[in-house]
């Protein structure tokens, strides 16, 4: 078993397949955020192959900026509707 280092972040990719809802297996990227108090897991499904972008880079450079842009867009909408 691998021991986690306190306050560390781990990324990995795996192929995942559902029994009914997906027609084929998909790449799932997992982020494990480990601290003294807790372990947080996040998962995302992507069609980008691991040869094109490794899991850590996909999560930090593609997924997180996209989420931040969505938050900014939502904040802007709220400000204009008030």
pLDDT tens per residue, range 13-68: 999 998 888 888 899 999 998 887 888 999 999 888 888 889 989 888 888 765 54
Q: How many domains does the chain fold into?
A: 1
Task: Please tell me the predicted confidence (pLDDT) of residue 28.
Answer: 93
The domain of 39 spans: 8-81
Determine the pLDDT at residue 1: 47
Residue 22 lies in a domain: yes
Residue 3 lies in a domain: no
Tokens of 68: 């931040």
Specify the pLDDT at position 14.
Answer: 92
Determine, yes or no, domain membership for 1: no
What's residue 61's pLDDT? 87
Residue for token pair 């998909």: 26
**CB-based contact 10:31 (threshold 8 Å):** yes
Give the pLDDT band (50/70/90) at residue 69: very low
């Amino acid at each position: 078993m691998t021991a986690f280092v306190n306050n560390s972040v781990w990324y990995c990719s795996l192929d995942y397949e559902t029994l009914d809802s997906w027609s084929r297996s998909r790449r799932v990227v997992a982020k494990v955020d480990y601290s003294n108090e807790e372990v947080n897991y996040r998962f995302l499904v992507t069609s980008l192959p691991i040869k094109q972008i490794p899991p850590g880079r996909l999560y930090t450079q593609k997924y997180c900026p996209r989420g931040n842009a969505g938050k900014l867009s939502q904040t802007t909408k709220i400000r204009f509707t008030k």
